[in-house]
A = this chain, B = another copy of it.
Amino acid sequence: MKVEQPLKVFIISDSVGETGEHVAKAAISQFRPMLQQVDLRKFAHIDTVEHVKNIVKIAKQQQALIIYTLVRQEMRAYMEQVAAEEQLAAIDVLGPIMHAVQRVTSESPKEEPGLVYQLDDGYFKKIEAIEFAVKYDDGKDPRGILKADIVLIGVSRTSKTPLSQYLAHKKLKVANIPLVPEVEPPEELYMMDPHKCFGLVISKEKLHSIRRERLLALGLRDDASYATDARIEAEIAHFQKVVEQIGCDVIDVTNKAVEETANDILQRRRMR
């Protein structure tokens, strides 16, 4: 494999820079999937022309690509102008969408940085959902089951915790319950609407390798019961039985990123 030049990217924002970073990573992953040899630098709260001018100068010295999210038309125009003068590539992330919305709605943008982070009802719903998922993680308190929008069940190491957090960021209250043959599942699982419940399943081979790695990472021997075939089979059989009793959907998470599983769950909810 040839050694690649490090790619320098400046994210410039009049707010936090989350949006620019997200888009930059999505685009760059098409070239350098591991984001190796990529040097992303974020400049937040850039809201004066002097600020912009100074950063463009540094970008010029380092031959960095510029990706910007600036909500004021005047600032975007200035950025475009100085980048052109310096012959630097500078991509406007918000401008094209803002122009289109303006055309479609005939409304004028407020042009206030950070409006997306407003402490409105949606924000507090999200914060509440994040706290809910922490509180009702790992079957800590089965009372969460009847309060939740979504309940995830599965054997150990099926990404229940991170998946709960991803869904929480979509403002959904998620409780997750681990299933182990030795412990009777909480009765609330059979009292809830089964449509709210999703069973997470993973191939035996994958589960085996994840658990072996985990044991090794914990400094334990990899032949502990937790990672044996017999144990894993018993756990999965128990899981299948509980899932059938509840009558809920089952999602295979083998080799799937939690973002993808989260999207799958959201789509199934929408279908109903």
A residues near B (Cβ < 8 Å) are 4-5, 7, 16-19, 22-35, 44, 63, 65, 67, 69, 71, 89, 91-94, 96-98, 100-105, 107-112, 114-123, 126-127, 130-131, 133-134, 137-138, 159, 161-162, 165, 168, 255, 257-260, 262-263, 267
Contact = CB atoms under 8 A, between A and B. Distances in A.
Given A105-B5, A107-B31, A24 B97 contact: yes
Contact of A260 (B16, B25, B108): B16
A264 to B, nearest CB: 9
A33 B110 contact: yes
A101 B96 CA distance: 19
B105 A30 contact: no
A115 B28 CA distance: 9
A29 to B, nearest CB: 4
B104 A65 contact: yes
A71 to B, nearest CB: 5
B120 A18 contact: no
Contacts of A108: 31
Contact of A257 (B5, B71, B123): B123
The count of identical subunits is 2
A16 B33 CA distance: 17
Contacts of A131: 161-162
B259 A117 contact: yes
A138 to B, nearest CB: 8
B130 A161 contact: yes
A55 to B, nearest CB: 15
Given A161-B130, A263-B17, A101 B26 contact: no
Contacts of A137: 134
Contacts of A26: 19, 69, 93-94, 116
Nearest to A41: B270
7 contacts: A4-B105, A23-B97, A31-B102, A34-B121, A44-B263, A114-B257, A134-B137
Contacts of A97: 23-24, 27-28, 67, 91
Contacts of A32: 107
Nearest to A89: B100
A18 B263 CA distance: 9
Nearest to A18: B259
